[in-house]
Chain A
Amino acid sequence: MGVDFHIDYLQLLSPSGQLSDAAGEIARDAELLVWFHRAMTRARLFDAKAIALQRTGQLGTFASALGQEAIGVGVATAMERDDLLVPSYRDHAAQFIRGVTMTEILLYWGGDERGSDFASARADFPICVPVGTQVAHAVGAAYAFKLRKEERVAVSFIGDGGTGNGGFYEALNMAGAWRVPVVVVVNNNGWAISTPRALGSAAETLAQKAIAAGIEGLQVDGNDVLAVHQATHKAIEKARDGGGPTLIEALSYRLGDHTTADDATRYRDPEIVRAEWVREPVGRLRTLLVARGFWSKEQETALLKDCGEEVDRAVASYLATAAPSCDSMFDNLFATLPASMLRQRDEARHYAPTPGGRHD
């Protein structure tokens, strides 16, 4: 007995901005398309600013999503407010749409735990750095939704490299075995730091890893926000209706360094990166918007100004945030700090410098 399989690939908007007939309704929704453009532009400007802050010693290590904005935006716009996002560390484009603020993301990468205490998006999980560990959280959360008969779906992100991790395989297998309402989105940006996709796995697609877990898997053009949105929307609504989990492999490209701590020129030919710019997501959507008469030069200028100001306000509020107190190391460690730890807290207080001064 053999098992044949086929992995679907969805692209609605080509790199040159040509729309496929399969796009359907979404292509006529000017408001939604402009929203996509706005959200991707915000993320891109935020990334540029965050890198600049890091370069000037005002932010810690930062992972930019340059070139992968369509994934976060396409996925988050397909979610309902009550759905749950379980992100990785490169998913702020999605998190912004969920209501996480730019200031919060800056605080996190600036070394301040308060960046994970989201003022809205109260249920969403914080950024996850240990690769692969987050997917099981989404599966468990989805199990809780199913048990309580809540019509909520959990959505998790992981990278191409992460799909080689045991945590990913275990979680995907559980998702299938339990048939829970979860959608896992792989941001296949071609690289796991310096490790190219081909060295990470001999599988022809990453989506096919779903087959072994007994769930649906498909590929989308991750630089096509329409395709990402449509595929995710379908998967989420299927999960909500009890149709089980889906794995979506979004094919994109990491146009920047892995993080600000990385120097990709050590292992990657800049020529390849230059060539990849042809496929990046923002320009192709703008081409479509302009062609359809949904977008003008003036609107673009106004948008850039708007987003730039929004980022600047977030940076100002980040920089103005007073340093955390040494007590915060002990706060929220337990519901109540055990009495046996009070002496340690006193010692920390005794040696604490007077608060203030953002960077030491």
Chain B
Amino acid sequence: MTEITLVEAIDLALGHEMARDPTVVLLGEDIGVNGGVFRATNGLQARFGRERVIDAPLAEAGIAGAAIGMAAMGLKPVAEIQFSGFIYPAIDQMINHASRLRHRTCGRLTCPMVLRSPCGAGIHAPEHHSESPEAMFAHIPGLRVVMPSTPARAYGLLLAAIRDPDPVVFLEPTRLYRLFREEVVDDGEALPLDACFVSREGRDATVVTWGASHAEVMNAAETLTNRSVEIEVVDLATLKPYDSETILKSVEKTGRCVIVHEAPRTAGLGAEIAAEVAERALYSLLAPVTRVTGYDVVVPLSRLEKQYMPSVERIVGAVLKSMEAA
């Protein structure tokens, strides 16, 4: 059994699926010989050739658009956008075509593609390399949005995303790429989409999170244990459509809900989850639902990024405040 990093798990899942399914093709900038700037496609061009692992010109809208054409014609493209700060031209293609091709052709044409991109801050990267755009994608009807938080979940969720008959935006937190290792069995087993994972059970408060913040929340859980507070950690994993049942069940048990995400606060996914909890579990609540998020500011350059991202301290502070109520 080998322990691997999250970025190695991505590479492993891509390789597994390419070997299993000859219709899977990869396209993106520098994904071939170079293996991707983060090495998420390391070795795949050597293994599967230049026709299936395509070094694309520097054209994000074109990459997404070409993936749509490939998908409609029977391939299963996995397109890589090199950094999420450059994903915006591709949003046009995702909104106007990928997300609605099935619907507007009444199911005649479909779009089984994956748009992968690193995301998030925390690795001292240059400007435009640290954004968290998940809420923008979650706002698009017809798109699935997934963000893994561990190597094993990355492996299983990416397999599920590739096999899914509809378009999936798969966002990979760069901060987790090499943060820790975990045992991942290359058994080709997909994990379910549209389902949360309960990463840790606890009786006192529910903390809903995803992506890189999951690591901070798990650390906060340790700190809180020392203060006799046991949090239940729910990893959202599929951000859209999301599994509200698991969240509601947890909140009904604990009576408290704190949502943690790195993306800016206003109109972030935390607002959606808070609204859902208010609508469907208000009478179970012992304290107001609260959010710990990035601020409504441009994600700062590296010298301030630590102060932007939700820290263990802020998470612990929010949970303790929630415990004070009632």
Contacts and interface: CB of A to CB of B under 8 A. Distances in A.
Interface of A: 60-61, 89, 108-113, 127, 129-132, 161-162, 164-167, 192-195, 199-201, 261-262, 266-267, 323-324, 326, 328-330, 333, 341, 344-345, 347-348, 351-353, 360
Contacts of A194: 30, 32-34, 55
A195 to B, nearest CB: 5
A241 B60 CA distance: 36
Interface in B286-317: 295-298, 300-308, 311, 313-314, 317
Given A130-B85, A130-B86, A195-B58, A326 B304 contact: yes
Main secondary structure of the interface of B (DSSP, over half): loop
B295 A201 contact: no
Contacts of B127: 108, 127, 129
Given A110-B303, A341-B296, A193 B30 contact: yes
A110 B32 CA distance: 30
A189 B70 CA distance: 32
B304 A266 contact: no
Contacts of A164: 57-59
Contacts of B267: none
A195 B301 contact: no
Contacts of B57: 161, 164-165, 192, 195, 199-201
A344 B296 contact: yes
B34 A326 contact: no
A360 B55 contact: no
A329 B307 contact: yes
A129 B126 contact: yes
B295 A329 contact: yes
Given A60-B126, A113-B300, A129-B126, A199 B55 contact: yes
A348 B33 contact: no
**Closest 8 A-B residue pairs measured CB to CB?**
A111-B302, A194-B34, A164-B57, A111-B303, A111-B301, A161-B58, A267-B33, A194-B30
Given A127-B127, A129-B85, A193-B34, 10 more contacts: A61-B124, A89-B126, A111-B302, A131-B86, A166-B61, A193-B37, A194-B55, A200-B57, A200-B58, A348-B295
B130 to A, nearest CB: 10
A297 B298 CA distance: 50
Contacts of A261: 37
B74 interface: no
Given A161-B58, A341-B296, A360-B306, A113 B34 contact: no
Interface in B141-161: none
B268 interface: no
Contact of A329 (B265, B300, B317): B300
A111 B303 CA distance: 5
18 contacts: A60-B124, A111-B124, A129-B126, A129-B127, A164-B57, A164-B58, A165-B58, A165-B59, A166-B89, A193-B29, A324-B300, A326-B304, A328-B300, A333-B297, A344-B265, A345-B295, A347-B314, A351-B307
B85 A326 contact: no
Given A166-B59, A192-B58, A267 B124 contact: no
B58 A329 contact: no
B73 interface: no
